[in-house]
Amino acid sequence: IGILGLGLVGSVVAERLRQRGYEVVGYDPMVSKLEGVEMKADADAVFASCETVVLCLPDGDVVRAVMDEMQSALREEHLIINTSTGDAETPHAQMIEATIGGSSAMLRDGCALLFLGGDSALIDRAQPILEALSSHRFHLGAFGAGAKFKLVHNMAIGLNRAVVAETLHFAQALGFDTKQALEILLQSPASSMAMKAKGTKMVARDYEPPQARLSQHLKDVRLMLAAAQEASMQVPLTELHEKLLSLAESRGFGEVDNAAVIEAYRGKV
């Protein structure tokens, strides 16, 4: 199996495929080696040696650029699985979507969700690989549906993180110890998966290594705003969330874990 992009997500995809007995080859201009992965010199070499290629790239623009570049390398037997979140780019005839709901840590543990979009026959062909990545898979329709539902999912989880950040900062402003406040909240109806996953990181200001980078989520939030505008609907909470993430990014927290959204509150918002 070939993988293009071996960052947070791509490296975990490689790990899970290797655990299922697949030989994995990969290419990433920013990664020179990865345990158990045969590194190739370029994307052409990955396509030349693999019928199935998984794209774990930053966004839709990069996906389009890579696919344009790979036109001459594509063969009829190729199957391309795109995990990248982006706008609903024009699908390639041999491509399906498998966007990921959850962090790289959740993907490693096998509890992330896969939002599938594309031709049913291609998705059936990809099932052994998809099963290696997650047991929670949802075919949501034609190509583009996976990317759209990823935005729905990320809107909910991102706003939950922002609520946790504001709540902990509010507790601190009222004179409470944030560690104690978090311990109490986790035992209350106010608890959430976001609070369990990110609350301790926020209290400890422990954002390394990132499970999912703040700047990556900010990119997704901007896609949400664009999709909402296209649908002629108002998303005031997401508009505020975009401002918080932008502020945290401007303070140097873009490349760390998205729990750092709380850093937008640790100064004047």
pLDDT tens per residue across span 85-126:
776 556 688 999 999 998 888 999 999 999 999 999 999 999
Rounded Cα–Cα distance for residues 189 and 185 (Å): 8
How many Cβ atoms sit within 10 Å of the Cβ of residue 219?
15
Q: Considering the chain, what is the average pLDDT of its residues?
A: 94
Q: What is the pLDDT of residue 89?
A: 58
- Would the pLDDT of 269 be above 80? no
Q: What is the pLDDT of residue 59?
A: 87
pLDDT tens per residue across span 215-238:
999 999 999 999 999 999 999 999
Rounded Cα–Cα distance for residues 122 and 130 (Å): 12
Rounded Cα–Cα distance for residues 58 and 212 (Å): 12
- Would the pLDDT of 164 be above 50? yes
Q: What is the pLDDT of residue 268?
A: 54
| For range 232-253, the mean pLDDT | 97
Whole-angstrom CA distances from 91 to 82, 88, 192, 202, 231 are 10, 8, 36, 39, 21
Q: What is the pLDDT of residue 85?
A: 79
Rounded Cα–Cα distance for residues 101 and 256 (Å): 19
Predicted model pTM: 0.90
